[in-house]
Amino acid sequence: MTIAAAVVLILTVTGIAGTQATLRASASTSARSVVLSAGTADLSLTTLSLDTTALYPGLTLVGAVTASNTGNVPLKLGVAGLTMPSGSAANALSQSLVVGVRIVPSASACTASAATPTWSGSAASAPAGTLGTTLPTASSQVLCVSVSLPIAAPAASQGQSASGIRLRISGTQA
């Protein structure tokens, strides 16, 4: 073997053996602490005022309510529930009423002849549901609340009154 071949052989053998190392680096954040704050969901509603016209089968009364997001997170609007009179306060009229809610562009657009409600419920069935809109922070939306007495209402509902009906509008963080 020649000297040149021996040098190549030595360089090849030492190149294969090599060395291994794990490199690490680290750094700290600044000396200032980071503060995280939770948002707030806050929904306010104006008072609902319905026409005082006496209901009869087939008639729908409506009233506008303004929902305002005064928190700092957007809110998905919905209906959390409907409470109808029960026990001795329940009567044929209160058990026959259908309550509905829909979004409208203004209070003047809240009419009985407008589109059907997005959500509706009665004493028999009032599931929680969505109104299909998200209310951005620092904004308001007009809700049209309707109360109807169906055509098929029982004759026993004549001359009765219903009070204590509670519609719960919800705002859930979007």
pLDDT at 27: 62
pTM > 0.85: yes or no: no
Indicate which CATH number applies to the domain containing 86: 2.60.40
pLDDT confidence of 39, banded at 50, 70, 90? confident
Task: Give 8's pLDDT tier (boundaries 50, 70, 90).
Answer: very low
Percent of the chain with pLDDT over 90: 58
Asked if residue 144 is part of any domain, the answer here is yes
Residue 73 lies in a domain: yes
- 167, part of any domain: yes
Is 31 within a domain?
A: no
Tell me, yes or no, whether 77 lies in a domain. Answer: yes
The pLDDT, as a whole number, for residue 77 is: 96
Question: Is 1 among the domain residues?
Answer: no
- Asked if the structure places residue 156 within a domain, the reply is yes
Residues 166 and 48: their CA atoms lie apart, in Å, by: 11
Total of domains in the chain: 1
Alpha carbon distance 132, 142 (integer Å): 13
Chain segment 78-95, per-residue pLDDT in tens: 999 999 888 878 899 999
Domain carrying residue 154: 43-173
- Look at residue 113 in the predicted model and tell me its pLDDT: 85
